[in-house]
């Protein structure tokens, strides 16, 4: 499985998204990620990163030079490619997309949940303490 995302940064801070849905609701450490998502068949990573940014956050991708931060492989084997952009975003401006899943498990009831339930700016040290472990490498590559 391959995914791509954007690591927005500004003056010593990075923007992370807290994963939405019931599995992540009460978690903090390891529950924050760069806004990202899976590549569709034949899609280029940068195109997927931009599409996923808009789907997950509901705002346009900030303008600015793009830097390819390469790939990391997460614990479950997912390969994540990240692109860095320096820019601004007001966390209160997002309108997250949603996904549907049966919840509670076995109930047969399909519910909608936000893809991300919040975004926030963090120092690299704060981000490293909260984000998916394999993605910490992107902070070092900034």
Q: What is the pLDDT of residue 25?
A: 87
Give the model confidence (pLDDT) of 12-23 as tens digits: 999 999 999 998
User: What's the rounded Cα separation, in Å, for the pair 50 and 44?
Assistant: 10
Can you list the residues of the chain whose pLDDT is less than 70? none
Which residue ranges form the domains of the chain, and what is each CATH number?
2-141 (3.90.79.10)
Give the model confidence (pLDDT) of 30-46 as tens digits: 999 999 999 999 999 99
Q: What is the pLDDT of residue 23?
A: 85
């Amino acid at each position: 499985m391959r995914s791509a995302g954007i690591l927005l940064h500004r003056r010593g801070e990075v923007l992370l998204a807290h994963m939405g849905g019931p599995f992540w609701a009460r978690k903090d450490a390891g529950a924050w990620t760069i806004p990202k998502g899976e590549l569709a068949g034949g899609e280029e990573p940068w195109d997927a990163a931009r599409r996923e940014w808009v789907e997950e956050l509901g705002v346009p991708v900030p303008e600015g030079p793009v830097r390819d931060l390469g790939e990391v492989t997460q614990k479950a084997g997912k390969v994540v490619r990240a692109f860095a952009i320096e820019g601004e975003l007001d966390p209160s401006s997002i309108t997250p997309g949603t996904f549907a899943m049966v919840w509670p498990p076995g109930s047969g009831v399909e519910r909608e949940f936000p893809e991300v339930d919040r975004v926030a700016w963090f120092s690299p040290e704060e981000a490293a303490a909260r984000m998916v472990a394999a993605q910490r490498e992107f902070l070092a590559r900034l």
